[in-house]
Amino acid sequence: MSFFKFTKSASLAALLALSAFPAFADEQHFPLQSYRVGPYASGGTGFFGGFIDYLNLLNDRDGGVNGVKLTWSEGETQYEVERGLEVYERLKSAPGIAAWNPLSVGIAYAMLDRVAEDRTPLITLNHGRTDTTDGRVFPYVFPLLLNPYSESSGIVNYIAERSGGHDKLKDLKIAVLYHGSPYGRETIPIYELLAEKYGFELSQIEVAHPGNEQQAQWQTIRRQRPDFVVLRGWGVMNPVALTTAQRTGFPADKIIGNVWSNSEEDVLPAGEAAKGYTAIVSVSAGTEAPVIQEVTEKVYGAGKGDLADKTRIGSVYHNLGVVNGILNTEALRIAQERFGKRALTGDEVRWGFEHLQLSPERVKELGAEGLFHSINVTWDNHEGEGLVAFQQWDGTKWSRISDWIAPDWALLRPIIEASSEAYAAEQGLKLRTAEDVDKVATD
């Protein structure tokens, strides 16, 4: 081979290698550790479908964010941690990565060190490790809108509201039925703390993964005769909980689902047994919000919709994906104001997330009024004080039955800090201060 031919081939190969990922100059990339097959596929297709739909909407309507086109690539994880990490390693070399959004507690836990080293934000909307709320210790992790402790506090506040005030809680018995996994066990200490504070009688009952048999647990619940059961489930555990509750004579309207027990997939298989069941939301279901209507008209109208089944538009997981898209791209927009309207580095996007403050007015401008309330992320509060509401299943659809409710953040913050500081001490990490926020890596 002549030198000329070799150089030409090498250049071509380099060009092809580069074109496998989007160009850096004017494209911002979202690598997606999605799950479209396997046990949790219905959640994965809804969430990642909504996220992609929103990115498509911005690309088609606005040409991206301030002219920076949004791109994405997917790797199938089947919700398995090993596969999630393999996808991370495979996709992390793509240029212009904005943030990671695995929608999996297990995968997120396994990525904590990696994202800190690679200086790229990790978004765990409505889930994740609670103490990552503390930005002093976890600069790159953002459990946006609702961490598990806030969720628990929001649920107890709602039960208090239904029972006639917080002073009535001391007369109540509350059982928490949780998934036998790190996700399920995450809130054990916070319910203990809330029981101590408000004086209600508490029992916490574990359901072995995956939760397809719960007779013993519900018989125990029947024996304890609680006033309310908090369902902290996931996947198949949720409909089985509702049908088993019916079988053991526990009323559905006394069961309050957590944020991963609030989807259509959780209630539809349970049929009549789910009627009257109530669950917490940080993002409402339904197609009324202007942004959802715009997605329907412009994205699905143009044949670019990601959901195979259009009837799922406006479902809980789809709307969650759309809101995730809004939060990610608004963080980009905020960061662009500071660093320039170009593709940003992961650390620059981290800065954007640490200034992600969307008032109810801004949420309305974005067409998401009613979908979620607001968010107020700061450098040391990576959750952003999301408000919660409660929805009830009437057999065919969810309807919101409460106003937006605030969790008891003041009560929760010291516990979060104690946990994150213990982690920092164990890992030998120095606590960040406000001055560290603006130290941004540009490569």
Query: By the criterion CB under 8 A, which residues form the site for other proteins?
Result: 36-42, 45, 180, 204-210, 212-213, 215-217, 219-220, 222-223, 235-236, 239-240, 243, 246-249, 265, 268-271, 273, 308-309, 312
Helix (H, G, I), strand (E, B) or coil at 323: helix
Q: How far is Cα 255 from Cα 430, in angstroms, rounded to an integer?
A: 43
Shortest Cβ 339–other proteins spacing (Å): 40
Contact (Cβ atoms closer than 8 angstroms) between residue 281 and residue 316:
yes
Give the shortest CB-81-to-other proteins separation in angstroms: 17
Region for 18 from its dihedrals, namely left if φ exceeds 0, alpha if ψ lies in -120 to 50, beta otherwise: alpha
Identify how many contiguous H helices and E strands the chain contains and give both numbers. Answer: 15, 13
8, 49, 86, 163 from 167: Cα distances, Å: 78, 43, 50, 9
Rg (CA), the chain: 22
Least CB distance to other proteins at residue 272 (A): 8
> Least CB distance from residue 239 to other proteins, whole Å?
5
Q: Is 211 in contact with 205 (CB distance < 8 Å)?
A: no
- Hey, which residues does 229 pair with through a beta bridge? 175, 255
Q: 28 or 204: whose CB is closer to other proteins?
A: 204
Closer CB to other proteins, 78 or 163, in the complex: 78
Phi and psi dihedrals of 143, rounded to 5? -80, 70
CA distance linking residue 292 with residue 288, whole number of Å: 7
Kindly state the smallest distance separating residue 216's Cβ from other proteins, in Å: 4
Using the minimum distance from each CB to other proteins, give the nearer residue, 158 or 191.
191
Closest approach of other proteins to the CB of residue 184, in Å: 9
Give me the sign of the Cα torsion angle 208, 158, 245, 127.
Answer: negative
- Pick the closer one to other proteins by CB: 49 or 352: 49
Give 74 or 369: the residue with its C-beta nearer to other proteins. Answer: 74
Task: Select 210 or 370, whichever has its Cβ closest to other proteins.
Answer: 210
Closest distance of CB 43 from other proteins, Å: 9
Q: Which is nearer to other proteins, 268 or 431 (CB)?
A: 268
**Token pair recorded at residue 377:** 């992320």
User: For residues 137 and 78, is the Cβ–Cβ distance under 8 A?
Assistant: no
